[in-house]
Amino acid sequence: MFIQLFSNYLVGQSVITIEQKNSFQEEIQKTRVKLGTIAVAQGLLTKEQAEEINHQQTQQDRRFGDIAIELGYLTENQVSELLSMQGDLAMKFFQLLIDTLDLSMEAVREHLHNFQKMHGFTDDELEAVKKDDFESIIPLFATVRDPMITDLAGLVMRNLTRFVTNNFYFGRMKKASEYSYSMLAGQKSVGDYNIFLGFGATNELDGIIRLAKNYAKTVAVTSSDEVYDAVCEFANLNNGLFDSVLSDDDIFIEMVPPEVYLNQQLSGNAYCMPVYIDDFEFDLIISADADFIPGNNPHTLNLKKTKLCTDTSSTLPTVLVVDDSSLIRKVLITLLNENGYQVVGEATNGLEGVELYKELMPDIVTLDITMPVMDGVTALRKIKEHNPEAMVAMISAAGQKDKLMDALREGAELFFTKPFNAQEVIKGLKNSEF
């Protein structure tokens, strides 16, 4: 974040050009190596151990090094050594300025001082910004009374780094009670707390498109509805992690299916934080107001199903994939088809899934928990009523502990948490009898 903010300041002061800024950022990204990658290269972790830690980060909002220490894979000294090997990105950027522009270090420090003064950062705050320390940075940019809003914003920024891109920065949070948008995709959590987390755009969707494509990674995101679907899944990921923290304190909270709204205006108390990927803006929208309404007319996603090439003569185990997210269905279908299974059908909600199960009678069903029309637990119950021997694997976001317990009581054999680990899914299925 610091590189983006400081380089934008330098562009504004005509110290560097936009072309130079982009070139510098590309150079910095090449040197920004993840801790797990360095640990594997140094022989301190196996590739499998690093992947396990990365996967645990999808279930817990914790640092890589803290999880590695807890698992006994690394010592505190080893983590400190790895952090030092990552290097000081701010200093690397300063060196690029000096080498490319023939600036002196004194001149760089003077620009840095003026940058600090413009933002009103204290010395300690500037150091936090230079280190991209979101725990310290977020309170500077999200000066709101409700700590829940600040905590959720911080979690989103950490997950942008983990799952989307390092090349982003954000602006100051402000009230968004009269926020009019061209697109808003998000999800509510209800119960002891009422929380809405969404991502919106007031005009152009370039920032939203970059968020969606970077999160989807290798899955093609081509249509507008596929973009909205991927953004909904990212909201689901963040909500799940945040709800899991709340539920640890014996608080009841439940996620409802994500929704998309087009060309409307929200009502109720909410906060907006602008976020920039490749300098293209989208808005993080958060509300903890029970009366908050994101929009009145949800947009119905028109998501094409994957064309399944089923071989009736095949002896491979057959699978039905049920999930309201096109992105998740594509990921699962590819994973299963590449690992000795034949996906014979896909459904977008629980009711459709039950009907397809009765028609296809597959060996395995994967069921998302949170879906419109009929949720996964209800669909599981109806499938088991039709065939008590049906093998069902539940798919959920983090933070759905109560729903998972309900599913296990209803006879689910397996459960996997999104974003799931490919090896974990295949190993779980291979070890189960059907």
Domain architecture of the chain: domains with CATH: 1-132 (no CATH), 144-302 (3.40.1550.10), 318-430 (3.40.50.2300)
List the single range of 99-108, 249-258, 263-272 with lowest mean pLDDT: 249-258
Q: What are phi and psi of 215, to 5 degrees?
A: -75, -40
* Backbone phi, psi, residue 279, to 5°: 70, 10
Helix %, strand %, coil % of the chain (to 5)? 50, 20, 35
Find, among 151, 222, 221, 165, the residue nearest to 1 by Cα: 165
Check whether 434 has a pLDDT greater than 60.
Answer: no
- Cβ–Cβ < 8 Å for 243, 399: yes
Q: Which long-range contacts (CB under 8 A, 24 or more apart) does 84-88 make?
A: 85/38, 85/42, 86/32, 86/33, 86/35, 86/38, 87/31
Judge whether residue 59 has pLDDT over 80: no
pLDDT of 402 over the 90 cut: no
Q: What is the mean pLDDT of residues 168-188?
A: 93
User: Does the pLDDT value for residue 358 go beyond 60?
Assistant: yes
Report which DSSP code applies to 62: -
pLDDT band at 399 (very low <50, low <70, confident <90, very high): low
Q: How confident is the model at residue 410 (pLDDT cuts 50, 70, 90)?
A: confident
The rounded percent of the chain whose pLDDT value lies above 90 is 60
Give the residue-averaged pLDDT of 228-256. 86
**pLDDT bucket at 404, cuts 50 / 70 / 90:** confident
Closest CA to 122 of 144, 139, 102, 99: 139
Is the model's pLDDT at 288 over the cut of 80?
yes
Q: Quote the pLDDT of residue 76.
A: 92
**414-423, long-range: CB within 8 Å, 24+ apart, which pairs?**
417/58, 417/59, 417/240, 418/58, 418/233, 418/236, 418/237, 418/240, 418/328, 419/58, 419/163, 419/237, 420/395, 421/51, 421/52, 421/55, 422/335, 423/51
For position 433, what pLDDT does the model report?
Answer: 58
Distances (CA, A) of 265 to 19, 261, 275: 37, 9, 19
Per-position b or e across 207-243, b if 16+ CB within 10 A of its CB = bbbbbbbbbbeebebeebbbbbbbbbbbbbbbbbbbb
Task: Kindly tell me if the per-residue pLDDT of 388 is higher than 90.
Answer: yes
Any residues with CB less than 8 A from the CB of 252 and at least 6 apart, and which? 191, 192, 402
| Arithmetic mean of pLDDT, 325-333 | 94
- Give the DSSP H or E segment for 182: strand 180-191
Report pLDDT for 248: 63
Band of residue 196 on the pLDDT scale cut at 50, 70, 90: very high
- Over pLDDT 70: what percentage of the chain? 98
How high is the pLDDT of residue 311?
76
Rg (CA), the chain: 23
Tokens of 185: 């995709």
pLDDT band at 247 (very low <50, low <70, confident <90, very high): low
pLDDT greater than 80 at residue 160: yes
Q: Determine the distance from the C-alpha atom of residue 73 to the mean position of all C-alpha atoms in its chain, rounded to a whole number.
A: 25
Q: How confident is the model at residue 346 (pLDDT cuts 50, 70, 90)?
A: very high
CA 309 to chain centre: 31
Phi, psi of 281 (to 5 degrees): -95, 140
pLDDT at 345: 94
What is residue 249's predicted lDDT score, i.e. its pLDDT?
63
Which amino acid, residue 217? K
Structure tokens at 392: 């069902």
Among 50-59, 235-244, 270-279, 296-305, the minimum mean pLDDT is found in 50-59
Give the model confidence (pLDDT) of 68-78 as tens digits.
999 999 999 99
Instruction: Please report how many Cα atoms fall inside a 13 Å half-sphere around the Cα of residue 180, on the Cβ side.
Output: 2
Higher pLDDT, 338 or 248: 338
319/352 Cα distance (integer angstroms): 15
Instruction: Give the model's pLDDT for residue 241.
Output: 87
Rounded to two decimals, the pTM is 0.87
CA-nearest of 253, 257, 240, 256 to 192 is: 253
